[in-house]
Structure 1
Amino acid sequence: MHATTILGFAMNLVAIIALAYGLYFRRHHRRDLLFAYLALNVGIFAVVSLLLVQRVDLAVGFGLFGVLSIIRLRSSEITQQEIAYYFISIALGLINGIAASWPLTALFLDVVLLAVMYVADHPRLLGTTRHQVVTLDVVHADPQALHADLERRLRAPVLQCEVTQVDYVRDVTVVNVRYRASASRPVRQGGVR
């Protein structure tokens, strides 16, 4: 094993631990995805390192991306935010695997990716905007009445609402709602669908 590969692996481990534990887990508290990010990243690093050592044809590299693209992210419910963490964990593995010979380049790219994720997912940045699927025990014919009902129930200003299902038999409406939660009122993070 080359010294550059060992250095690249060490940098990769530091970067993925900073991303998965330092950023993701401490903010979102999903242990299952913490494990998934670590495993995916280390697996990508190992495959890329082996491909580079064996000088495999470019077609094999495209085949690897083809395999990765057909893998469905099967989880209970996964948000776009969590998919972004998947993408960054893959990117870190690729960067540290490919750029192991140029440690300063790999380090720079690791720092850039981690800094972007730190800022983009920071709770203070758009932290009061929430998304929730709400099931109402009433059907509103008037959009203004629906809007007012949602604001009363959520005790927050509604930014956008979209009716996704109406059941006139049971008098039920399912609404996809984006609203601004007050900073003083704690909002459960796990309730986002």
Structure 2
Amino acid sequence: MLQFLSIEPDQIDLLTKLALRFAFNLASTFIIVVLLYARISKRKEFYFSYFAISIAVFLLVFLLESVKVELGFALGLFAIFGIIRYRTDAIPPKEMTYLFIIIAVSVINALSKDYFSYIELTFVNLLLVGALWALEKILMMRQENSMLVVYEKIENLHSDRENELIADLEERTGVKVKRYQIENIDFLRDTARITLFFENNGRSKREIN
């Protein structure tokens, strides 16, 4: 049967490693994307992209590494993804960072099959996940987001009514304003364009009238 399928005995070991490493990489990706990124950022629109890229990069690196492409090819992947621009909306810096991490984890899990045991590989993945969790939760290094608002109550722009302005903006937008910047004031229309800055809670940069 093995001869009919053109599978050599040593290839069985390679297929076993592929299956185990693939499951291991998929589990690491799930922890990073679902349990860490999505729960904190409250965003799910990148699920497909993260998982698809993780699977594609892992299989690409794993299979091509077996024909001795090795590290040069892996580094080339980072260069390719570094210059790619999606034709849709621009990806925020934090999402691009997680994309880079997903690629890095997939490359590590694929290329280390001849160098790291599963215990060492588990430690490396846990170290990476722990560092991300520390940056997100302990150090509170959250990405600051912004929102452009067209505001009509220009009487609240007076310096003596800053508290009323912030309270009104927070009630209307539903975000906790950390700071704001008045871009311009149109006295003919009694409106002002104000940029609000707040902690990233999954809301993208947009304009509110």
| Alignment TM-score, normalising by the size of structure 1 | 0.72
Find the partner of 2:49 among 11, 29, 36: 36
Q: 2:149 aligns with which of 134, 138, 159?
A: 134
For residues 2-51 of structure 1, what are the alpha-carbon distances to aligned partners after superposition, in whole Å with 9 as ceiling and x for unaligned? Answer: 14333322210110011122223344454431111101111111121123
Q: Give the superposition deviation at 1:60.
A: 4.1
CA contact (8 A) 1:49 1:98 kept: yes
Structure 1 residues 56 and 126 mapped into 2: Cα distance closer, same or farther (>3 Å)?
Answer: closer
RMSD: 3.7
Letter in 1 for 2:107: L
- The aligned residue for residue 23 of structure 2 is 10
Once the two structures are superposed, residues 38-74 of structure 1 have per-residue CA deviations (whole angstroms, 9 ceiling, x without a partner) of 0111111112112311112765444433321122245
Given candidates 62, 69, 81, the residue that maps to 1:68 is 81
Gapped regions of structure 1 (runs ≥ 5): 181-187
Q: Are residue 100 (structure 1) and residue 113 (structure 2) matched?
A: yes
- The superposition leaves residues 57-102 of structure 1 with CA deviations (integer Å, 9 ceiling, x where unpaired) of 7654444333211222455464333223212211211111122231
* Identity level (%): 23
The normalised TM-score by structure 2 is 0.67
Give the whole-Å Cα distance in 1 for the aligned partners of 2:78 and 2:184: 37
| Corresponding position: 1:86 with 2:105 | no
The Cα offsets for residues 143-177 of structure 1, whole Å up to 9 and x where unpaired, read as 83584453231269854323345555544333222
Alignment partners' CA distance in 1, 2:119 and 2:184: 53
Alpha-carbon distance change, 132 to 121 in structure 1, aligned in 2, over 3 angstroms: farther
CA shift in 2, pair 1:174/1:98, >3 Å: farther
Residue of structure 2 equivalent to 1:173 = 192
- Range with greater deviation from structure 2 (34-43 or 160-169): 160-169
Which secondary structure state, in structure 2, belongs to the residue aligned with residue 32 of structure 1?
coil
Structure 1 Cα separation of the partners of residues 131 and 87 of structure 2 = 26
Segment drifting more, 104-113 vs 116-125: 116-125
Q: Does the 8 Å contact 1:133/1:192 carry over to 2?
A: no
Larger CA Rg, structure 1 vs 2? 2
1:151 aligns with: 166
**Residues 43 and 202 of structure 2 are in contact (CA less than 8 Å); yes or no, is this contact kept in structure 1?**
no
8 Å Cα contact 2:58/2:109 also seen in 1 = yes
